Structure 1
Amino acid sequence: MNLQHRIQYVLDELVASGTETGLQVAVDHRGHRVVDAVAGVADSGTGRPVSPETLFFSFSTGKGMAALIAHLLVGNGLVNYDTLVAEVWPEFGVRGKESATLRHVLTHTVGVPAMPGGLGPGDLGDWSRVCAAIAGADPLWRPGTRTGYHPYTFGFLVGEIAHRVTGMPMGRLLNDWVAAPLGITGELCFGVPASELTRLARLEDAEPPAPETPEPGGILAPWEGRPRASMGNDQQFLQADIPSVGTFTARGITTAYAAMLDGRLIAPDQIEELSAVAFEGTDQVFGNPTRLALGYPLGRLGAPADEAPTALGWPGGGGSYAYADPATGISFAVTKNRLTPDFSTAQRLSDLVNAEIGRLA
């Protein structure tokens, strides 16, 4: 049984057992698409089946594409990793953030992890308002000294830097710099065009949403740390340019990651630089130890301790996951519409792929 059939078997089993509702998995290995599999329904209400063209809102898995835009800015000579944010965004250089660099943004060490000013999900479509609030915020630590997950501010930090040096919003950059050149227009979105909304899978919560009450001593607002189907099904939210999250097909984001590895988007020497350990420490938001490359957690999700941490990628709340591994040549993505509290499905599929073809590296 080849890998395509092995993955399809697992997907069918997950759907039949009720563990998952609808999924896509795509895997590239050194220039070859080795898996393109789907199972289940995109919408439980209508029974519409998942197809390879179904779009899935996948929360923070989209951060991988925001980081890719940052690397393309560097590769095109518009900025470098140690460019001061305030050099291109002067309003940001206040209240102790004067020393913050793009490197600090990419390693979540800027110190503004929470969305400031009481802004909520409904405000994120107002780009100018959000960026003004972030620019005026007090950092929780001196930039570059600590790290803490920036769930929503990350995309606006990268995005406003990109906007200042290109004059273009992130959604357009993702299309013009990544999707269109790779022939995957319509398969990678920060803001979904109204005409494409009917292609989306409908998300569902695997468990009843917990009450939105702040955790004592917590840094994030409840909505920032707890993914909910209602957010990912809201058409206004889906159409907004919010580059901390993303909507895509599994094969679309896998194609983009593969193009990072094979030189179509990123030069080999830049891949070597961006995939090195850039910061290690305790995450100030969640309290876990973390090791970061430039723009990505370093190491495959759930990998055993003896596996070299070379994968670059982002999981997304509810269980989606996508990564590229320069060492093995694997690009992998799983998208799904049932928002589970863990990543057991993604880890099971990733383990299977790595066991089958990672050894061939």
Structure 2
Amino acid sequence: MATIDGTCDERFGAVRDALAAGLDRGAETGASVAVYLDGEPVVDIWGGHADASATRPWEQDTITNTWSTTKTMTALCALILADQGLLDLHAPVADYWPEFSAAGKERVLVRHVLGHTAGLPSWTEPISVADLYDWETATAALARQAPLWEPGTMSGYHGLTQGYLVGEVIRRITGRTIGTFFREEVAAPLGADFHIGLAEEHDHRVAPVIPHESHRAAGNPPLTAEASWTAEWRRAEIPAAGGHGNARSVAQVQSVLAGGGAARGVRLLSEAGCEAVFEEQFDGEDLVLGVPMRFGMGYGLPSPTVSLPNPRSCFWGGWGGSVVVVDLDVRLTVAYVMNRMAQGTLGDERGVGIVMAAYAALGG
């Protein structure tokens, strides 16, 4: 059986076994898993290798690009500002970002952006991957364009644009970039090793993602997984897809939400502020993902497509397989972060198996 390092409460032994099984059957190259219960770690494990050639072991402090799992970090920042009364989730985006009202977007509300219903799932004018690294270029282009549908009426997954939209609202309110706000207000108080915009000093710890062999460049911009291998990608603040961390850091942050706004003595939100997550923004077939989805305020909610045991739970994941599930009913957070990408954007059996094993340990 594969060697698994770290700590695991024996009650959650099936979680450790699930990670080992993935490594044994070759589904993983390297991966990390964390489970937090009542804000405290009960599983913090890792195994495998940080590179495709299996020359570097995955270490305790190995981090990787988590793709859209980053969205949960950006959404949490918005929820914190809303809880502080600095951001009205039901107000027009243009209240905070006046230039955004152009081209008929005066009816786009902040909640539409968080729920993928704003009608801006991508840029309509051609942009390059390099444009993602220039905040002003990426946000100004979104401010100029018209929504593709009546805001709030349907969802179309805002794969990259959501982060720039939410991030610019946060910048207008706080005067800080999303990466700085997240670092100062969330990661630092919690001691979490998650980064939106990675400093050069951390480069040696990065496990490059390993693309699925079927993947080809697609979209606007035409993005490949290999783009994340560059220093330009790591330095940029790409708040919907460019966050770097591991399962431990993802769970450290999101356990705050699972705990009703606090974890390990740090309170970032009130209990009422956490409940905003469950304000349903859309329930139906997503125009981009092509499957039925239920979106709350910045997170996915339980649905027939993504079934979770408890109603007050939420989730999101990243391209290729990373995932985090946050359950406020049982105060559980489960995170899985790996470097070998699977096909698709809605996760795969590896993360699902980890989450199921964690719930089984609770008797759920």
TM-score (norm 2): 0.90
Task: Pick the aligned partner of 2:288 from 273, 276, 285.
Answer: 285
Deviation at 1:333, TM superposition (A): 0.6
Deviations 1:264-297 (A, max 9, x none): 2221112123223232222122332111110011
Rounded Cα–Cα distance in structure 1 between residues aligned with 2:37 and 2:317: 20
What SS does the aligned partner of 1:323 have?
strand
Rounded Cα–Cα distance in structure 1 between residues aligned with 2:310 and 2:18: 26
Rounded Cα–Cα distance in structure 2 between residues aligned with 1:4 and 1:353: 6
Answer yes or no: is 1:116 the counterpart of 2:124.
yes
Preserved CA contact (<8 Å) 1:24 1:335? yes
Task: Pick the aligned partner of 1:315 from 314, 317, 339.
Answer: 317
Rounded Cα–Cα distance in structure 2 between residues aligned with 1:118 and 1:196: 32
Deviation at 1:261, TM superposition (A): 2.7
Rounded Cα–Cα distance in structure 1 between residues aligned with 2:337 and 2:288: 25
- Structure 2 counterpart of 1:273, which letter? A
Partner of 2:331: 329
Answer yes or no: is 1:248 the counterpart of 2:253.
no
What SS does the aligned partner of 1:100 have?
coil
Partner of 2:354: 349
What SS does the aligned partner of 2:68 have?
helix
Deviations 1:188-217 (A, max 9, x none): 11111011011111211232433x46xxxx
Superposition pairs of residues 1-361 of structure 1, within 5 angstroms = 2-45=10-53, 47-184=55-192, 187-210=193-216, 212=217, 220-221=219-220, 223=222, 228-245=224-241, 246-262=243-259, 263=261, 264-299=267-302, 304=307, 307-341=309-343, 342-357=347-362, 359=364
Preserved CA contact (<8 Å) 1:104 1:143? yes
Partner of 1:217: none
- Structure 2 counterpart of 1:69, which letter? C
Range with greater deviation from structure 2 (266-275 or 70-79): 266-275
What SS does the aligned partner of 1:67 have?
helix
- Structure 2 counterpart of 1:331, which letter? T
Partner of 2:3: none
Change (3 A) 1:85 1:324: same
The structure 1 segments of at least 4 consecutive aligned residues displaced by more than 6 Å after TM superposition are: none
Rounded Cα–Cα distance in structure 2 between residues aligned with 1:152 and 1:338: 21
Rounded Cα–Cα distance in structure 1 between residues aligned with 2:78 and 2:124: 23
Deviation at 1:8, TM superposition (A): 2.3
What SS does the aligned partner of 1:48 have?
coil
What SS does the aligned partner of 2:326 have?
strand
Preserved CA contact (<8 Å) 1:4 1:37? no
Deviations 1:98-144 (A, max 9, x none): 01111111111110101232112221010001111000011101111
Over aligned residues, Cα RMSD in angstroms?
1.9
Range with greater deviation from structure 2 (97-106 or 198-207): 198-207
Rounded Cα–Cα distance in structure 1 between residues aligned with 2:163 and 2:306: 26
Preserved CA contact (<8 Å) 2:62 2:205? yes
Rounded Cα–Cα distance in structure 1 between residues aligned with 2:231 and 2:304: 30
- Structure 1 counterpart of 2:351, which letter? A
Preserved CA contact (<8 Å) 1:72 1:266? yes
What SS does the aligned partner of 1:94 have?
helix
What SS does the aligned partner of 1:38 have?
strand
Preserved CA contact (<8 Å) 2:302 2:314? yes
Deviations 1:140-181 (A, max 9, x none): 011111111000100000000000011100110110010111
Identify unmatched segments of 5+ residues in structure 1: 214-219
Rounded Cα–Cα distance in structure 1 between residues aligned with 2:59 and 2:149: 45
Rounded Cα–Cα distance in structure 2 between residues aligned with 1:301 and 1:151: 21
Deviation at 1:41, TM superposition (A): 0.5
TM-score (norm 1): 0.91
Deviation at 1:309, TM superposition (A): 4.1
